[in-house]
């Protein structure tokens, strides 16, 4: 009986945790790609949250980005950080808004793997639009603590990969080109 009480106490204590991914880290490859796109200049203004997204990871609690940012603010800031590092950020040029049309994660895909699946519809003040989706896979873990922490840690590289997919899209330059 004592073991059951201890196990329930541990479950209760861990169920209240919030997993916080590290702050976004700029991708050198994304910056290099942006630097090679001579006509690109602008800023990402905002992305709307999807209608449904559960940030809860198993019974561990939610995954919430650092600094009190929402997922949409985290992704928007990541795009702008990449543009700034590539010297392509400008409040006076093209402004991009959009919708996160899909965002979901799994901390248990194939027992010890996980993924972040993110899709965006982007719209530019120049009238162009672009739809992009990216599924980023990673190693998670078997137990909830390890898997959920790995899922939180994978958010930043998942967004780096989403940005890479966006930059690689054949219509990205048109989206960011001042008309």
Q: Is the pLDDT of residue 103 over 50?
A: yes
10 domain residue, yes or no: no
11 domain residue, yes or no: no
pTM (2 d.p.): 0.88
Q: Which residues, 6 or more positions from 9, have their beta carbon under 8 angstroms from its beta carbon?
A: none
Residue 40 belongs to what domain range?
36-176
125 domain residue, yes or no: yes
153 domain residue, yes or no: yes
Q: What does the pLDDT read at residue 16?
A: 53
Q: Tell me the per-residue pLDDT of 130-156, one tens digit each, with 9 for 90 and over.
A: 999 999 999 998 899 999 999 999 999
Q: Tell me the per-residue pLDDT of 115-134, one tens digit each, with 9 for 90 and over.
A: 999 999 999 999 999 999 99
Q: What does the pLDDT read at residue 58?
A: 84
Separation between Cα atoms, residue 156 and residue 81, nearest integer Å: 12
Separation between Cα atoms, residue 32 and residue 16, nearest integer Å: 41
Task: Please indicate whether residue 14 or residue 93 has the higher confidence score (pLDDT).
Answer: 93
* pLDDT cut 90: percent of the chain above it: 75
C-alpha atoms less than 13 angstroms from C-alpha of 10 in its C-beta half-sphere: 8
What total of structural domains would you count in the chain?
A: 1
76 domain residue, yes or no: yes
Q: Which of 13-17, 62-66, 169-173 has the highest mean pLDDT?
A: 169-173
26 domain residue, yes or no: no
Q: What is the CA radius of gyration of the chain?
A: 18
Q: Mean of the pLDDT values across residues 41-58?
A: 92
Q: What does the pLDDT read at residue 177?
A: 92
The residues facing 139 across adjacent strands are 113
98 domain residue, yes or no: yes
The torsion angle over the Cα atoms of residues 59, 99, 153 and 67, rounded to 10 degrees, is -90
80 domain residue, yes or no: yes
Q: Which of 95, 135, 137 is nearest to 119 (CA)?
A: 135
Tell whether the torsion through CA atoms of 113, 63, 153 and 167 is positive or negative. positive
Q: What is the CATH number of the domain that holds 77?
A: 3.30.160
């Amino acid at each position: 009986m004592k073991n059951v009480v201890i196990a329930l106490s541990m479950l209760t204590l861990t169920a209240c945790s919030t997993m916080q991914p590290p702050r976004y880290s700029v991708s050198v490859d994304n910056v290099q790609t942006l630097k090679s796109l001579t006509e690109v200049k602008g800023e990402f203004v905002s992305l709307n949250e999807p209608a449904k997204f559960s940030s809860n990871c198993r019974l561990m609690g939610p995954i919430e980005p650092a600094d009190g940012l929402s997922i949409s603010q985290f992704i928007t800031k990541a795009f702008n950080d990449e543009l700034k590092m590539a010297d392509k950020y400008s409040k006076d040029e093209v402004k991009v808004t959009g919708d996160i049309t899909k965002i979901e994660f799994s901390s248990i895909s194939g027992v010890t793997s996980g993924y972040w699946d993110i899709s965006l519809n982007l719209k530019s003040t120049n009238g162009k639009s672009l739809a992009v989706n990216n599924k980023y896979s990673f190693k998670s873990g078997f137990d909830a603590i390890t898997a959920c922490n790995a899922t939180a840690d994978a958010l930043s590289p998942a967004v780096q990969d989403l940005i890479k997919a966006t930059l690689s899209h054949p219509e990205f330059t048109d989206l960011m080109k001042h008309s």
